[in-house]
Structure 1
């Protein structure tokens, strides 16, 4: 099957006395196959549906487990039973060099089976004529020794652009940047280094050629492979900020004269590289990406190679004497998966949480001098889209800052079903659940911890009303029985601080629940100096007023987009 265009559709029209030939029956099959395959391609995409794990069974062979996939032409590929294959016996595997990375691929295939006597042909030929009675929809497994071009992978350019900075038989350096960013937005450029094992330790140094973007940590880029580990793939991120202009094109590349790429002490010769392009737009990036996707032509949506395949595994080989040994197997190295709607729904309903002990925020601050006698000013803004926390501080002339800081984060506390643990005087079963120790990052000493219950809704109506995200302060049960009632179980939240360790723990007491869930708690940690500054900026003389002022600042910080 060489063509990628299924339409226009044409089906048989039957009438009494119609003479049916082979062409009619083939047309009948083609009509239903083409429609199904086009819908597969448009509705589901291409990639692994389930199974098809690749496992090294010994030093020279792999096993492909049973599973199913859809290729780029919408054809179903089913592996009904595990297959064990020796790499050197597979199509595409060459014996010229063993220290390399190879890719195990699967493709749709058809095989004719069940030979039978062809009665119609016996009238015109004297010898016995056989033909095949069935076509078995099958698959074929083969090896590709070259990595695919990034632009040719399914949906490769939908959200990002990947360009090749360097490539040879042993090393490939890729640069990935987003297609769209907003003015002033912080974003990441990713550099990916792919190499064969034991080819030497890679290092890459160059000056960033950037137009309409700036590197937060400077234009000098340096990557050195770690000494204590050796992998076949590494990735590093470079934090950049977009220009404040709207409707401009930013470019990112390499200043060629400054680039030095080495394997151990051997310097590789770099050729002129491509340049990555980023559009700086004023509207929402997600909406622009979706608009690009739905507005593309039908032919562009169905575009695919005439002989597509799915990359099931990257197999890293090392040379041992005159032969090879399988060192490692990486599953589906280019992320070619298909997720069904049920899985996507459950993933959307699951509250992802960030491990606050390892999460990273980008912070920026601005200090201005106010006229003498004016009250101090303190504003906190948190842009969740780019994880940027900004502080604006106004200090009266002649005053000192003395402000240590404020940190914020979110923790998900798993809640398991239970029936009766402890019963309150009102007859409700309750149980307490606790987070692990959370490092607040303000150092040793006393801190003030403020907590709130946080929820997010995935329905479109809430998005339209900008009420999809909600942060409940104080007792959330005051909203019970109203349209503002939280979806989470009724909880009480408490905290324990460990001043000598610079950590704290959050606990929730939950009333009886029948299904597992997560209670999402947002927290703010204030140092003593920061609490005093916020209290002064609000003109408060009591602890309650100071807490109220800090909650207002915290709410502003968590709600600003």
Structure 2
């Protein structure tokens, strides 16, 4: 029963002597199925109710675990046993590869019915025998797509906001996210996003919008600009703006986007949208939550009926490495669009957890003593947190040091980035640290003077040791502590970016190439280069990569030591 129209409801009325046909029995089943599915859709929603995790088995295969989901028509999707699938055998794989967009794919699941227990229909006579089955099994269908869900209204975010497409072509999409309403006199956030929907490309974009009507602010325009940014497919950059609504009974904030105020440069092509765009944000008297509830009850029937069509549940985003006619699975991200269903029991657990956190916060607030606010001649003292690092280095003295003989350490990376740092040096002996002139204490085994040279352009330093008295010791342990000022804070509209140049590379075995990591809005960034192990080749601290002696595909990663979550990778193809 794949029907998607659940009403009007009509069921059989039985009486003695009534003649029954096949359609009467089908109608009975349909009546109860439609009632249940309508209940599922309006009272529960759509998404994953349990399980359905997708895990990577090997570089060609995935496993879909057992679980339950409801689709957007209220139909139950049941996976009763875990199953392993070779990615190339799933529907949609060939289409994605043929389009040249083989760097990722979404795995979706949809409701499907299968006939079970084939039978022979004796009533068909000499007419053409069609496929007849004694049973119908509720089943599921897996397929791959490179398209995101096509209806924002069906998401949780769609209850509060909507997306307007300002510009779209085969390469990029510019969207603006706005709230569906705003309470008069309060602030609202709007986000403009630049997204690459095709292969990696360098993009420049500039957009200016004018604001009018129920808006109060000094600036009457919004401006978003991205200059020569390199975006991988599916990567998105966003800028968020805060607006202030007027205190009015009625009205709307109106945003105008003129085609001549939008400039997009893709490679050498300069593009403009063809139509003017007008966006309205109505003012309300109620808060955002109450407005959402009112709006939901007003529109849910229409939206549910309009969107009552087959649309899969997105189980995973599968990142791929495509090479000639083959592929390799790199990573699997589960439920990329957070299509979950929260049961009443789970919601009760979440509520209980939030209540416990609020109680703990309240208790902590009651136990916290009042802070003393000190002022210095009327001006509050501003403190700047420091960045610190420390360590111990062992410096070789050969067969023993002579008086006035000088020894040097290897170049040491302090890990605080580029720029000046302050160093404290001491000689470490057992549990003792000796600072200053080394001949003040009679129990020192090695009496020496210490000095250091800091290379601010590389984020490194070198320690020098001058012997005050001869020693037979063959090494000396020097404890160091480095202190640097805090990194300058970025402005609210600045974002950090890290990318590797070039973004694709092919080398011969044992060939070397100098990679470059580009950091934007990170003036003191320290870049750390890594590979997946010795068999993946080697890379120096300056980004010089040396390919291994075995052909293959190898990953090199650069990350910022100050902001470890800021990182970028490149896959290098090594051939004979």
Fold equivalence (TM over 0.5)? yes
Aligned to 1:78: 78
Paired with 2:200 and 2:191, the residues of 1 have a C-alpha distance of 23
CA contact (8 A) 1:248 1:280 kept: yes
Aligned to 1:251: 254
Q: 1:281 Cα deviation (Å)?
A: 1.6
- Farther-moved stretch of structure 1 (75-84 vs 203-212): 203-212
CA contact (8 A) 2:108 2:315 kept: yes
Counterparts in 2 of 1:129 and 1:294: CA distance versus 1, 3 Å: closer
Aligned to 1:294: 297
Query: Secondary structure of 1:174's match?
Result: strand
Matches within 5 A, 1:522-533: 525=371, 527-529=373-375
Aligned to 1:56: 56
Counterparts in 2 of 1:190 and 1:261: CA distance versus 1, 3 Å: same
Q: 1:531 Cα deviation (Å)?
A: 13
Matches within 5 A, 1:489-500: 493-494=367-368
Q: 1:273 Cα deviation (Å)?
A: 6.0
Aligned to 2:115: 112
Cα deviation, 1:492-521, whole Å, max 9, x if unaligned, reads x245xxxxxxxxxxxxxxxxxxxxxxxxxx
- Farther-moved stretch of structure 1 (34-43 vs 335-344): 335-344
The runs of 5 or more residues in structure 1 that have no matched partner are 355-409, 414-451, 455-471, 474-492, 496-523, 534-561
Matches within 5 A, 1:26-175: 26-93=26-93, 94=95, 95-121=98-124, 124-125=125-126, 131-151=132-152, 153-154=154-155, 157-175=158-176
Counterparts in 2 of 1:304 and 1:199: CA distance versus 1, 3 Å: same
Counterparts in 2 of 1:265 and 1:353: CA distance versus 1, 3 Å: farther
Aligned to 2:192: 191
Q: 1:178 Cα deviation (Å)?
A: 0.7
Matches within 5 A, 1:442-461: 453=363
CA contact (8 A) 2:66 2:79 kept: yes
Paired with 1:126 and 1:175, the residues of 2 have a C-alpha distance of 59
Query: Secondary structure of 1:211's match?
Result: strand
CA contact (8 A) 1:211 1:250 kept: yes
Q: 1:101 Cα deviation (Å)?
A: 4.1
Paired with 2:46 and 2:16, the residues of 1 have a C-alpha distance of 42
Matches within 5 A, 1:333-482: 333-351=336-354, 412=360, 453=363
Aligned to 1:23: 23
Matches within 5 A, 1:257-268: 257-262=260-265
Q: 1:189 Cα deviation (Å)?
A: 1.2
Aligned to 1:11: 11
Cα deviation, 1:230-258, whole Å, max 9, x if unaligned, reads 97344442222223333111133544333
CA contact (8 A) 1:204 1:222 kept: yes
Aligned to 2:280: 277
CA contact (8 A) 2:207 2:261 kept: yes
Largest Rg, 1 or 2: 2
Query: Secondary structure of 2:40's match?
Result: helix
Counterparts in 2 of 1:308 and 1:126: CA distance versus 1, 3 Å: closer
Query: Secondary structure of 1:219's match?
Result: strand
Q: 1:350 Cα deviation (Å)?
A: 2.3
Paired with 1:165 and 1:352, the residues of 2 have a C-alpha distance of 41
CA contact (8 A) 2:314 2:335 kept: yes
TM-score by length of structure 1 reads: 0.58
Q: 1:226 Cα deviation (Å)?
A: 7.9
CA contact (8 A) 1:183 1:281 kept: yes
Cα deviation, 1:237-295, whole Å, max 9, x if unaligned, reads 22222233331111335443333345577655544364432111222232222112123
Paired with 2:359 and 2:258, the residues of 1 have a C-alpha distance of 43
Paired with 1:311 and 1:100, the residues of 2 have a C-alpha distance of 17
Counterparts in 2 of 1:148 and 1:297: CA distance versus 1, 3 Å: closer
CA contact (8 A) 2:108 2:143 kept: yes
Counterparts in 2 of 1:294 and 1:141: CA distance versus 1, 3 Å: same
Cα deviation, 1:293-341, whole Å, max 9, x if unaligned, reads 1233745444324322222233344443444444443333333221111
Query: Secondary structure of 1:351's match?
Result: helix
Aligned to 1:329: 332
CA contact (8 A) 1:232 1:316 kept: no
The runs of 5 or more residues in structure 2 that have no matched partner are 380-576
Counterparts in 2 of 1:184 and 1:117: CA distance versus 1, 3 Å: same
CA contact (8 A) 1:46 1:154 kept: no
Equivalent residues, number: 375
Aligned to 1:512: none
Q: 1:154 Cα deviation (Å)?
A: 4.7
Paired with 2:184 and 2:53, the residues of 1 have a C-alpha distance of 43
Q: 1:197 Cα deviation (Å)?
A: 8.2
Q: 1:69 Cα deviation (Å)?
A: 0.7
Counterparts in 2 of 1:205 and 1:55: CA distance versus 1, 3 Å: farther
Paired with 1:411 and 1:311, the residues of 2 have a C-alpha distance of 37
2:245 to 238, 242, 245: 242
Paired with 2:232 and 2:128, the residues of 1 have a C-alpha distance of 68
CA contact (8 A) 1:102 1:145 kept: yes
Q: 1:207 Cα deviation (Å)?
A: 1.9
Cα deviation, 1:132-160, whole Å, max 9, x if unaligned, reads 11101001111223334344535664321
Matches within 5 A, 1:306-321: 306-321=309-324
Aligned to 2:445: none
Paired with 1:126 and 1:149, the residues of 2 have a C-alpha distance of 44
